[in-house]
Amino acid sequence: MKNFARFLVLLLILAGAGYLGLWWWAEGQMADALTQTVKNITANGLYTETDDGITRGTSPLTASATINNLRLTIQDPKIPQGITLTIPSVALFINASKPTLVNLTWPSQIGISTPKGDVAITFGSAVETATLDMHAVLNREPYPINSANFSATDVNVLASSGSLRVLHVDSISGSLSLNRDATAQQTAYQFSETFNNLALAPLITRIGSIPFNGTITQFGLAGAISGPVPADLMAIRSQIMALPADDQAGRSQLLLQAVHEWAAAGGHATGSTTLTIGPSTLNASGSVAFDQTAQPSGKADVTANHLDEFTGAITNAYPQTQDSISQAEAQFSPYLTSTDSGGQTLTLHITYGPNGVSLNGQPPTPMPPLNWDQLLATPPASAPGDGSGAAGAGQ
């Protein structure tokens, strides 16, 4: 019996030591992730960064790491004094009960210093969670997650060192999912984001005579991209991030090469947006798919209701817009209808492809083929380093 008790004690000691080792490793991984994120942000020279160091947590039930007093300054010759973003703290933590769920917490206020004054962004709450892809974690791949969710409430943008509210947002929410191994028939990346009740301050609304109380009731974006995921996607991302901030041609070229590889393998994507202002709601959605020669085809749908009330409010607030709005209404008159429930409604249905472009069922007009050879004619960009473009691939 004594031997059995000793065995149990030894087992508990080994289990405890193993747990502490795992806890210490997890905190080290999170500290490395914060360090690497800062390196990625500053790699192209657009930002310089200072901070007060990274601290680890002390609770044995929670592995955590926090970067303190993070300061990012934009280096732009047009702004000699620079613009500095100050984030008091950003913390990552994992609870022992949910070891694959990473939580990220933001501070209640972020400061922005500019040559013309200071701005503050405050949050009632701001949290983000991400589900880890353990295979990617163990292989030290960049951005090792399967999915993430973000939410913020009671968001305010304050000017004059926090004394003047410029903008208020009731809530912001978003989500994304990522499948690194997606085939052409599977979804590789999917996202959605929604803003509710974006309202300018009443003082600004009155001074600018802005209709609808200066409020956007809702704005939403969503999209999905299919596979196949390029085998070197993360290396391409690192190369793009490592290029100088002013090398837009180089960045575009690397991105275009990746898009062409994706399109040639049968890639397809969808997207949608919703915008509600005053009485009117705009809904738009579209899709694109590529054939074996990487030529696009797809469709787009757009609807907007109560346009008569919307444009009436705009012209009442800004009479100088009357001529422009009248011209737009005349141009879109074939696609406008009127109902008791929807008021004046715009409806557009567009299809496009090798047979041409068709609007609301009309005979198609020719659409020139997409000339990938011409688009890709620019010499490939080189990442900093030996000129091979390989620099930064491990970031």
345 pLDDT tier (thresholds 50, 70, 90): very high
267 contacts 184 by C-beta, under 8 angstroms = yes
Number of residues assigned to the chain: 395
State the pLDDT at residue 32. 86
| Candidate from 9-23, 45-59, 180-194 with smallest mean pLDDT | 9-23
**Is residue 391's pLDDT more than 50?**
no
Which residue has tokens 């180089």? 250
Band (pLDDT 50/70/90 cuts) for residue 217 is: very high
Residue 200 burial class via C-beta count within 10 angstroms: exposed 0-12, middle 13-18, buried 19 and up: buried
Higher pLDDT, 249 or 78: 249
pLDDT over 50 at 52, yes or no: yes
Torsion sign, CA atoms 311, 315, 321, 323: positive
**Whole-number pLDDT of residue 46:** 79
Which of these ranges, 1-10, 129-138, 176-185, has the smallest mean pLDDT?
1-10
What DSSP assignment string belongs to 333-365? GGGEEEETTTEEEEEEEEEEETTEEEETTPPPB
Query: Rounded to whole angstroms, how far apart are CA atoms 284 and 320?
Result: 28
Q: What is the pLDDT of residue 314?
A: 95
Residue 387 is predicted with a pLDDT of 41
How many Å apart are CA 191 and CA 177, to the nearest integer? 7
349 vs 137, which has greater pLDDT? 349
Confidence label for 8 from pLDDT (cuts 50, 70 and 90): low
pLDDT of residue 16: 58
pLDDT at 395: 36
Tokens 């997890």, residue? Answer: 26
Average confidence (pLDDT) over 263-270: 92
Q: Give the tens place of pLDDT for each residue, 147-177.
A: 999 999 999 999 987 778 999 999 999 999 9
Query: Can you tell me the distance from the alpha carbon of 195 to that of 220, in angstroms, rounded to the nearest whole number?
Result: 6
Q: Which of 72-76, 140-144, 257-261 has the highest mean pLDDT?
A: 257-261
Confidence of residue 44 (pLDDT cuts 50, 70, 90): confident
Cα atoms in the Cβ-side hemisphere of radius 13 Å centred on 194: 12
Which stretch of 31-40, 165-174, 240-249, 303-312 has the lowest confidence by average pLDDT? 240-249
Quote the tokens at residue 275: 């915008």
State how far the alpha carbon of 197 is from the alpha carbons of 106, 153, 155, 278, 379, in Å. Answer: 21, 11, 10, 11, 46
Average pLDDT, rounded, for the chain: 86
Q: Which residue has the higher pLDDT, 16 or 365?
A: 365
pTM score, two decimals? 0.83
Q: What pLDDT, on a 0 to 100 scale, did the predictor assign at position 389? A: 40
Q: Token digits for 374?
A: 């011409």
Mean pLDDT across 318-336: 93
| pLDDT score recorded for residue 5 | 61
- Under the banding of pLDDT at 50, 70 and 90, the label for residue 386 is very low
Confidence of residue 348 (pLDDT cuts 50, 70, 90): very high
